[in-house]
A = this chain, B = another copy of it.
Amino acid sequence: MCSQRDPDDLTARARIREAALQQFGEHGFERATIRGIAEAAGVSSGLVRHHFGAKEALRDACDEYLVKALVQINDQVRAAPNPPDVNYLAVASAAFGPYQRYVARALTEGRAAPLFDKLVELGAQWLADLDAKRPDPPTVSREARATVGAAMALSVSVLHEHVSRGLGVDLSSPEGGDLLARVMLDLYSHPYLTPEEAAEYLAHLPAPESRKAHDD
């Protein structure tokens, strides 16, 4: 899918970045070592420093690369013949391909903000179509809904291991992906609440101002 070419064809710099993405993803930023990354890339630790300087700069390069990749994928998807609809959600999980673990960690640590924001942007575009067909006016801004929606779409990726365990199949496997799609389809076509229930809850919600003095 993305940059799935032969590792031998890549420059040392690219191989290092690729190895860093993998090692950071597998062991986490702190636990991953420059030496380990160098070894995985088939170069020396000295070369890593030569190309990227400090460890953090290497991580920054990884983040930058992923944003570029996401924008690329996004453009591809939007240029595709049939608009993706739900598949937007699949994009979030699948697009990062082998880098899912890295993305999950980066996001959890509050990093890779442009990546998240791009996803929100895509979600908002998608929500715009949905809002047109909607009978009642939304009670909150589209961007707010897109933000929470993006977080939810990413959750499966981020909590990959736990979801796999709960589902009983590895999400990375075809069977896992298939089951996940079916679950998503069911979940996204069956609201937890009726509009009436939501309205009732909403009415019982303390006004934003009065919450200031809220106490438990």
Contacts and interface: CB of A to CB of B under 8 A. Distances in A.
Interface-centre pick from A1, A134, A163, A177 (highest chain B CB count, 10 A): A163
Contacts of A104: 108
| Oligomeric state, in copies | 2
A150 B177 CA distance: 18
DSSP class of A's interface residues: helix, strand, loop or mixed? helix
A182 B141 CA distance: 10
Contact of A159 (B130, B151, B184, B202): B151
Interface stretch (A44-52, A57-65, A187-195): A187-195
Interface residues of A, number: 76
A35 interface: no
A191 B186 CA distance: 10
A13 interface: no
Nearest to A87: B201
A202 B188 contact: no
A152 interface: yes
Contacts of A150: 162, 166
Contacts of A205: 178, 181-182, 185
Interface of A: 1, 28-31, 85-86, 104-105, 107-110, 113, 116-117, 120, 130, 134, 138-140, 143-152, 154-156, 158-163, 165-167, 174-175, 177-195, 197-198, 201-202, 205-206, 208, 211-212, 214, 216
